[in-house]
Amino acid sequence: MSKRKDRKGEKRRVQFRKNREKKTRRNDLTRDALKAADNEAGVDDLAAEERLSGKGDLTRHRTVIGVVEDENGHLIREIDESQCLDGRVITAVGLNSIVQSDDGTQYECTVRRVVRTISRDARNAVTTGDRVKFQPTGQTLPSGMEQGVIERVEPRHGVLSRESGNREHVIIANIDTAVIVASAADPPLKPNLIDRFLVSAEKGGVSAIICINKADLADPVELQPTVGLYASLGYDVVLTSAETGMGVSRLQGLLAGKQSVFTGQSGVGKSSLLNRVEPSWELQTGAVSGWSQKGTHTTRRATLLELKSGGWVADTPGIRQFDLWDVAKEEVEAYFIEFRPFVTRCHFPDCTHTHENRCGIKLGVQEQLISSSRYESYLRIFQGDD
């Protein structure tokens, strides 16, 4: 547990969630007032349906007592920990989550309103992989699962996020490794999407494995440049086939004992591959659309699965578009690890590596020390292209 500032009962101003906003005031109050004047009725006789404020916008904050800040700036709710159990969120859907306690018992939990109120600048207050403190209610639901209430979400580390509606959508929390699954064909290989996932992994403090699935559908010679490129950058690259079992044993070895997530484009075969890793899971799988060459979402929500070899792996819904969260244009270069030795060769300290002369990165590309495809990915991310 992180150290916290010793300020018991501290008050904090925190943002309301959007669904807690009051309705906007009606636009016809002036008309009603004029009508009342014409009828010789006083304005005071109007129904006091709404309160007006000179602030313009309705406030979206409330004061919460019992919230402290840890050394990393995270807001933490103070609770009676003696009444709570520790657990891990196995899957989260809206305001409901399945939480597995440290003794292996699973509970269906709601989220305490104050937990949702505390501003996290995120779309989801609770996400798969979160470590939480929760309190059993002592009731058993019709599903046969015990009920609980999440009282606090512990600070996260090792996150994979993307932007969704101008907010952070945390796909998974508290992981060591992201397995970025692409396909050699059907749908076609998209190195630019791999690079976006790599940037997100670097940003979230997560190591990355690049898995090129459906390798049986492509000529190995054609895949070698891509494999060689990422391997030269220090990433583990695995060629697999969920159909034939190619590369599965190596993938199993890389996953053993780790907290991992399978992520990537829809239709690349993540669930099929996980069924090869652990056949007992029997995850639902689907086919790629013939006319669009895009996958369909057979996995509806991120779910943690326990490996027999130790550790956990999360299956996640496929992503067709991956917008990076909280990565400023000026920061993009830092997440392309091969750029780092060349940045010092740029003539201008604020070089964007796009149009400037005497740019160390562009010189590295010209000298074939930096891959032209990776540089193109950098430009697309920098310019905000999908």
Burial class of residue 114, CB neighbours in 10 A (0-12, 13-18, 19+): middle
- Note the pLDDT of residue 255: 96
pLDDT for 125 equals: 85
Quote the pTM value: 0.77
As a whole number of angstroms, the distance between CA 382 and CA 360 comes to 17
Q: How many CB atoms lie within 10 A of CB 43?
A: 11
Q: How far apart (Å, rounded) are the C-alpha atoms in residues 377 and 384? A: 11
Alpha carbon distance 92, 134 (integer Å)? 14
Residue 160 has phi, psi (to 5 degrees) of -120, 120
- Asked whether the beta carbons of 69 and 11 are under 8 A apart, the reply is no
Query: Cβ distance 191 to 226 under 8 Å?
Result: yes
d(CA 350, CA 186): 41
**Residue indicated by tokens 């492509």:** 218
pLDDT value at residue 167: 84
**Which domains does the chain carry?**
79-153 (2.40.50.140), 171-315 (3.40.50.300), 329-382 (1.10.40.50)
195-213 residues labelled b (16+ CB within 10 A) or e (exposed): bbbbbbbbbbebbbbbbbb
pLDDT at 248: 96
85-93 and 96-101 strand pairing: antiparallel
The neighbour count for residue 339, using CB atoms within 10 Å, is 19
C-alpha to C-alpha distance for 166 and 277, rounded to whole angstroms: 36
DSSP state of 144: S
Residue 187 preceded by cis peptide, ω within 30: yes
Three-state secondary-structure class, residue 18: helix
Residues in the chain with pLDDT values less than 70: 1-76, 119-123, 284-300, 386
Q: State the burial class of residue 164 (Cβ atoms within 10 Å of its Cβ: 0-12, 13-18, 19+).
A: middle
